[in-house]
Amino acid sequence: MQIRILFFASYRDLLGRGEMDLNIPDGTTVSGMTAEIRGRGGAFATLPPYPVVAVNQDYATEDRILEDGDVVAFIPPVAGG
Amino acid sequence: METALVREPISPEQMVAELPSSGDGACLLFLGVVRDHNEGRAVSGLDYEAYEGMAERTLAVIATEASDSFGTDRIRVLHRIGALKVGEVSTAIAVATPHRGEAYEASRYIIEELKKRLPIWKREHYVEGDSHWVGGGGEAGMESGEGGA
């Protein structure tokens, strides 16, 4: 199945891209997806091992099981206000 | 209730215009303003970036929580995005309630939750010419965030 991943602010600058599509096996969790991305090495390996993540615009836990078509956003430390 | 991300300057007068109902005795306006320094460095301006869809939803959720907790639907919350100069308003929270206590509590609740939950980031530009993401930095967000307002 395929998911879309979004990178914002410092993560986007770090990776040089704001989004990517990723094919993952059924049943992959948020933490499994993070491990897959970090395992690509280079700048990806400098992403935090347990980043704050939103799935379809809601904050999600690392054991959340992803579904086909999900939009997953990596959320750097927020600084609104 | 009204919540939004905006790209144009925020008018304090419009934030409170016709907000109180006839039963309200308090109308409180909080403004978060871009200051000229942070962590010992002279700041010339900021860029605010948002995950826009999620930030709009989150603002609405926080305002609804405040409405439920403090018993008023006379709430307006705006957050500016884009490039801001020192002295400009980045965040505005207006609350009207029958008595002052709930207005202060609701306003405080909204700003504290917004700073924790709103997916918005700011890049500080320094007088020396360099810039960096506040809280994000170059360590892929491993540093803790520091607030502005």
Reading the block at residue A31, the tokens are 């933490």
| A16-30 pLDDT, tens digit each | 999 999 999 999 999
**Predicted pLDDT of residue B117:** 96
| Mean pLDDT, rounded, of chain B | 91
Closest residue in A to B132 (Cα) is A10
**SS3 labels along B7-35:** CCCCCHHHHHCCCCCCCCCEEEEEEEECC
Q: Which residues of A touch B50 (CB under 8 A)?
A: 80
Q: What is the pTM of this model?
A: 0.91
Query: Looking at the partner chain, which of A13, A73, A80 has a beta carbon nearest the beta carbon of B120?
Result: A80
Instruction: With CA atoms as reference, report the closest residue to B126 among B49, B33, B48, B40.
Output: B40
Number of A:B CB contacts under 8 A? 98
Query: Looking at the partner chain, which of B50, B111, B140 has a beta carbon nearest the beta carbon of A14?
Result: B140
Query: Is residue B71 scored above 60 in pLDDT?
Result: yes
Dihedral angle computed from the Cα positions of residues A62, A64, A70 and A71, in that order, rounded to the nearest 10 degrees: -30
Chosen for mutation from B114, B115, B142 (greatest number of chain A CBs closer than 10 Å) is B142
**Predicted pLDDT of residue B149:** 47
**Predicted pLDDT of residue B78:** 98
Query: Is residue B148 scored above 90 in pLDDT?
Result: no
Reading the block at residue A4, the tokens are 């879309």
Would the ipTM clear 0.90, i.e. be above it? yes
